[in-house]
Amino acid sequence: MSETAASIDDRHLYGLVAEFESVEELEHAAEKAKSAGYEAMDAYTPYPVEGLDEKLGMKPTRLGWIVLLAGITGAILGFGMQWYSNVVFYPLNIGGKPLNSWPMFIVITFEMTVLLSAFTAGLFMLGRNGLPRPYHSIFNTPDFDRATRDRFFLCIETRDERFDRDGTRRFLEDQSPVKVSEVER
């Protein structure tokens, strides 16, 4: 893949990627891109960078609330299932204990809470991240394998309203990256 501005047809262009040597350079470029009005962008780093998602303009996730609701639902289902089976469906008076003896319901109620919470978190996380995804256009970036070792990448995608091939390239080059590459779909 060539790095000239006319190397990839616009229909086949996924975006422009700037490669940086340090996390500080990436954070500075992300802040500049956000202030310049770019919205469809993402960063790729070898390790999690605290606060980078805010600098990219990403909104906080609501996954925690969904998992909380799933946990409450699991607790209600676990307790309700035991209560129904012991009080309504098959009541047994054992040793004079009350039919609704809640202390013996705690273990299953806890396990159902954890089970529904864990499955909800896992499934929603996979869905939100678009996984499983065996192919993504960003993997066409030259030297992108270094994103897992020692380089930091900022991608501005063509679906951004402000994306202009030459203007975006100039903007990224002004951020002093190692190089700016075009990414093919």
pLDDT score, position 105: 93
Main-chain dihedrals φ then ψ at residue 4, nearest 5 degrees: -80, 155
Sign of CA dihedral 142, 148, 151, 153: positive
Q: Are 17 and 2 in contact (CB under 8 A)?
A: no
Q: Which residues pair with 43 in a beta bridge?
A: 154
Please, are residues 174 and 18 in contact by the beta-carbon 8 Å criterion?
no
Residue 39 inside a domain? The answer is: no
Q: Examine the pLDDT at 5 and tell me if it is beyond 50.
A: no
Query: Structural domain of residue 74, as residue ranges?
Result: 63-128
Q: Are 3 and 182 in contact (CB under 8 A)?
A: yes
The confidence score (pLDDT) of residue 12 equals 87
Tokens of 13: 């262009």
- The answer to whether residue 16 is domain-embedded is no
Structural domains in the chain (count):
1
| DSSP classification of residue 140 | G
65: left (phi over 0), alpha (psi -120 to 50) or beta: alpha
The structure's pTM equals 0.74
pLDDT at residue 1 tops 60 = no
Could you read off the pLDDT of 175-185 as tens digits, one per residue? 999 999 999 98
Residue 175 backbone dihedrals phi, psi, to 5 degrees: -85, 5
The DSSP-derived string for 55-92 is: HTTPPPP-HHHHHHHHHHHHHHHHHHHHHIIIIIIS--
Q: Is residue 138 part of a domain?
A: no
pLDDT tens digits for 101-145? 888 899 999 999 999 999 999 999 999 888 888 888 999 899 999
Q: How far is CA 121 from CA 28, 71, 153, 159, in A?
A: 32, 10, 28, 29
Q: Is residue 140 part of a domain?
A: no
Answer yes or no: is 29 within a domain: no
